[in-house]
Amino acid sequence: MPETIWDRYGGYSFVARTVRDFYDSVLVSAALSPYFDGVNMEGLIEHQIQTVGAVMGGPYDLDVEALRRAHRHLRVQQAHFDELAVSDPWPQPYASALL
Ligand code: HEM
């Protein structure tokens, strides 16, 4: 079986570190941090590791419907996606699940 991107980059420990760094920067943003008031960040970080891990070929399934449910009530704006600036345009299926 070919090596996955998940394996090549070091799997869980690499992705966990990257996701934690990512949310550290989100939480210091005045525009983004209010979205995360009262959110269980440890639970969110674990789910995000699994979501990113699924896309990287790691041992998780991508649950687009769960992404949709988690974000529907937030009414996330395009400007907030742009501030995260991971890629433009947003890759499907994220954009349709989140906006
Ligand atoms: C590609 C973009 C994004 C991805 C892949 C993503 C992924 C995720 C994942 C996996 C969760 C955890 C869901 C769960 O616990 O069931 C989550 C939760 C959350 N996301 Fe995102 N997200 C993205 C963009 C955004 C943006 C732009 C915002 C707002 C600025 C946002 C705000 C939140 C909040 C507040 C939660 C916690 C919801 C709660 O626990 O009530 N996300 N996201």
The domains found in the chain, sorted by start residue, are 1-62 (1.10.490.10), 63-99 (no CATH)
- Which residues are CB-neighbours of 33 under 8 A, at least 6 positions away? 26, 27
Q: Nearest residue CA, atom 4 of ligand 1?
A: 94
Q: What is the pLDDT of residues 43-93, one digit of tens each?
A: 999 999 999 999 999 999 999 999 999 988 988 887 887 777 655 565 555
The angle that helices 41-55 and 11-27 make with each other, rounded to 10 degrees, is: 130
Atom number of ligand 1 nearest to Cα 36: 35
pLDDT value at residue 95: 61
pLDDT value at residue 93: 57
Model pTM? 0.86
CA 71 to ligand 1 centroid distance, Å: 6
Radius of gyration of the chain (CA): 14
**How many Cβ atoms sit within 10 Å of the Cβ of residue 51?**
21
- Which residues are CB-neighbours of 49 under 8 A, at least 6 positions away? 12, 15, 16, 19
Instruction: Name the phi and psi angles at 57, rounded to 5.
Output: 85, 15
Ligand 1 cavity residues, CB under 6 Å: 32, 35-36, 39, 43-44, 47-48, 51, 66-67, 70-71, 74, 76, 80-81, 84, 94, 98
